[in-house]
Amino acid sequence: TKDWNGIDQVVLRNPRGASVRVSLHGGQVTSWRNDRGEELLFTSSKAIFKPPKAMRGGIPICFPQFGNCGSLQQHGFARNKIWSIDENPPPIHPNDSLGKSFVDLLLKPSDDDLKCWPHCFEFRLRVSLAADGKLTLISRIRNISGKPFHFSFAYHTYLSVSDISEVRIEGLETLDYLDNLCQRKRFTEQGDAITFESEVDRVYLSSPNVIAVLDHERKRTYVIRKEGLPDVVVWNPWEKKAKAMLDFGDDEYKQMLCVDGAIIEKPITLKPGEEWTGRLELGVVPSSFCDEG
Ligand code: TA6
């Protein structure tokens, strides 16, 4: 199908009726629905569909730079480029396709890209939807230039939640984090689940590979499993920042939370011919909340 600008979008479906949409613009997952057709990712009602800017929501790919800690535009250029369908991807681990519907996308730098980031790479992204509705993104980035390069990376994942003040994250307790709201200074998280009462913009470091995001009101838990992605970005703009963003509704901060599998603190260095893989799996399970006393 075509997306907002007549750019191709691939729709994946599974036998139970779950679906995923991926736009060739940015290799961006723009929708992930369960078998009841409920949208699990947040997309702003004010999203601006105007390439090359990434649409506000879904899962923009931040590469080769996360944030603005470097010479490139915020979050790098991968999310602003047109990707192609990769007709003959190199073999991938069999259980990454068994019983799944998937699409393989490819991004290679244009001459323009090489002007702002002079490193030749092949970025292969496999997006797959499993029979049980889990969404998996596998990024394989290979250095095909003659010299090493380094990069940081994030799956900028906008989760849809019912009410941010009823959401908590389990799995990041006691970790160190860099706080974007305090000049990226390092702090240590306290010992219980993270809850939200104001703007949060943090990079949790050396995190476990399974993180749970509990949405109390909808009695559902997002289970995030990751490999090759040691850091987790947690972002909610809250009211003031939300009002300042053109492509974000004033009150929409209440219905979203970014929890991004990432590699930021220690960027990856690839030697010529080397390849890095970053794998993210998103699932949703009903959570019977035992209300804490
Ligand atoms: O998630 C962390 C962050 O860097 C925030 O500081 C905020 O800028 C967010 O990403 C969104 O960035 P974007 O360029 O998509 O508006």
Query: Is residue 199 exposed (0-12), middle (13-18) or buried (19+ Cβ within 10 Å)?
Result: middle
CB neighbours of residue 200 within 10 Å? 22
- Per-residue pLDDT tens over the stretch 28-39: 999 999 999 999
Query: Are the C-beta atoms of residues 81 and 26 closer than 8 Å to each other?
Result: yes
Of ligand 1's atoms, which has the minimum distance to the CA of residue 235? 1
Q: Reading across the β-sheet that carries 275-286, which strands appear in turn?
A: 84-85, 100-107, 121-130, 135-143, 275-286, 220-227, 210-215, 167-170, 194-195
Q: Ligand 1 centroid vs 207 CA: distance in angstroms?
A: 20
Q: Which residues does residue 269 pair with via DSSP β-bridges, in sequence order?
A: 150
Q: Ligand 1 centroid vs 272 CA: distance in angstroms?
A: 31
- Per-residue pLDDT tens over the stretch 190-233: 999 999 999 999 999 999 999 999 999 999 999 999 999 999 99
On average, the pLDDT of the chain sits at 94
Which pTM was predicted? 0.96
- Per-residue pLDDT tens over the stretch 263-274: 999 999 999 999
| Residue located nearest, by CA, to atom 10 of ligand 1 | 67
Query: Are the C-beta atoms of residues 143 and 272 closer than 8 Å to each other?
Result: yes
Dmax (CA) for the chain in angstroms is 60
Nearest to 72 by CA among 119, 107, 28, 27: 119
Residues within a 6 A CB radius of ligand 1: 67, 74-75, 180, 201, 233, 235, 258
Nearest to 262 by CA among 180, 185, 202, 175: 202
User: Does residue 289 surpass a pLDDT of 60?
Assistant: no
Of ligand 1's atoms, which has the minimum distance to the CA of residue 79? 15
Q: Output the pLDDT for position 92.
A: 81
| Residue predicted with more confidence, 261 or 112 | 261
Of ligand 1's atoms, which has the minimum distance to the CA of residue 241? 7
Mutate to test the pocket of ligand 1, among 68, 75, 253 (most ligand atoms within 8 A of CB): 75
Helices (H), strands (E): how many in the chain? 2, 20
Q: Which residues does residue 283 pair with via DSSP β-bridges, in sequence order?
A: 223
In CATH, 9-292 is 3.40.50.1100: no
User: Does residue 292 surpass a pLDDT of 50?
Assistant: no
Identify the band that residue 293 occupies on the pLDDT scale cut at 50, 70 and 90: very low
Cα 221 off chain centre by: 17
Of ligand 1's atoms, which has the minimum distance to the CA of residue 54? 15
Identify the band that residue 117 occupies on the pLDDT scale cut at 50, 70 and 90: very high
- Per-residue pLDDT tens over the stretch 150-159: 999 999 999 9
Q: Ligand 1 centroid vs 67 CA: distance in angstroms?
A: 7
Q: Which residues contact 183 (CB under 8 A, 6 or more apart)?
A: none
Mutate to test the pocket of ligand 1, among 62, 74, 79, 183 (most ligand atoms within 8 A of CB): 74
| Residue located nearest, by CA, to atom 4 of ligand 1 | 67
